[in-house]
Amino acid sequence: MVDRGERIPLAERKRRAKVHISDLKKDIKMKAKGKGNRAVQLLIILLILGVFAQNSGMISKMNKLLGQSETTVHEIYDDTAVIKAYKTGDTSGLDEKDLFVHDKMSEVIKKLITDDMSPYEKEKAIYDWQVKWTSYNDQSLNPIVAGGSETHTPYGVLRSHNAICVGNATTFKLFMDALDIPCKIIHSTQNGEHAWDVVQLDGEWYHVDVTFDGGVSGEPGYNYFNMPDSVKDNGSYPWDHDEIPAANGTKYCYMLTSAAALNDMYEIPAQLKQAINGDKTMLTFTLKDNSGFTRQIAEYICNSFPIDNGWVGFADAYSLDGQTVYKYTIERYENGGGEIPPEVLSRLDEAIADANDGMIAGAAQ
């Protein structure tokens, strides 16, 4: 999932379009191999131009859905009253909405949290639950269109199962405050609005971005779970470092703790294939011998593994706890309407094939 109340960075949009077009070119060349007639060549040109236009349209649509109104900045919910009521057991001072938030929060904590859990285990339990509970609500991104949507608040999130970035951040903080885990919200508005959290575990701070999790169908992807500044501070959504404590923790950094230890780059393909088959959304790894491993090779490897309804991309290399950790992102596009019935797919494939045959016939005349 790509994030935001919030606009997709231009570099990321260009990279995605480039990957899609590159993959399409390869696929078309394979299908056209040995068919040197002009009609097929013309079809290749038309399809490449078509997919470029499609990607441009897709990017425009995604920005429309994900792009926060330039003039709208959501207010950050104050959970003081709810947390006080939770700690004291006195809910008499809560209004109707805060009482709902209190009761739902209490229900979730009672179900998930036990006294013998460590702060990290409590944090991860809440994180996993919240990813499963919420889905990114594109209808609430523009208040003018969505009207009274409250998915920027814990009430809206807990009531509707939907959240925008501010709702994710405030809801996660609500739980952390209830569990006495230090937590702050970063509310970035310079490059469009985005919000996420930083949490303190064993005296060190980490970034937690539920919205950018990257998971599919409610299963967490952990793409931005407990990340240090060196990973999160990529310029997309700047924040005031004087107000937010430096996040330099690595002990609980998921990208580091889940990294596969590989001997050399020749072990990457098998590991990447395993991650793809396992429906993972991220592969991180270290290399005992990284000689010869360049970005060009990293991208060559990921381009060799096309996946249905998605793509694989090489993110970057990060220095974490004295180690170089490499990251691949495995993006899958979810069908918001559920699975397409097989009989519908079959008829659509026939219609698409007939249309393509007609285009070839017309070009040959």
Question: What strands lie across the sheet with 310-320, from one edge to the other?
Answer: 260-262, 282-287, 323-332, 310-320
CA–CA dist 121, 46 (Å, integer): 53
For CA atoms 21, 27, 28, 30, the dihedral sign is: positive
Side-chain half-sphere CA neighbours of 17 within 13 A? 21
Q: What is the pLDDT of residue 148?
A: 38
Two tokens, residue 282? 């991220």
Task: Tell which phi-psi region holds residue 64, choosing left (phi > 0), alpha (psi between -120 and 50) or beta.
Answer: alpha
Side-chain half-sphere CA neighbours of 269 within 13 A? 8
Render each residue's pLDDT in the chain as its tens digit; 365 residues.
Answer: 333 334 444 445 445 455 444 554 455 445 444 444 555 455 555 555 554 444 444 444 444 334 444 447 899 999 999 999 999 999 999 999 999 999 999 999 999 999 999 999 999 999 999 999 986 554 444 333 333 378 999 999 999 888 999 999 999 999 999 999 999 999 999 888 999 999 999 999 999 999 988 777 778 999 999 999 999 998 889 999 999 999 999 999 999 999 999 999 999 999 999 999 988 999 999 999 999 999 999 999 999 998 887 889 999 999 999 999 999 999 877 654 456 677 888 888 888 888 887 765 666 56
Q: What is the pLDDT of residue 37?
A: 52
The predicted model scores a pTM of 0.71
Q: 132 to each of 165, 219, 258, how far by Cα in Å? A: 15, 6, 20
Contact 260, 232 (CB under 8 A): no
Q: Please calculate the CA angle 186-8-176 and round it to the nearest 5 degrees.
A: 25
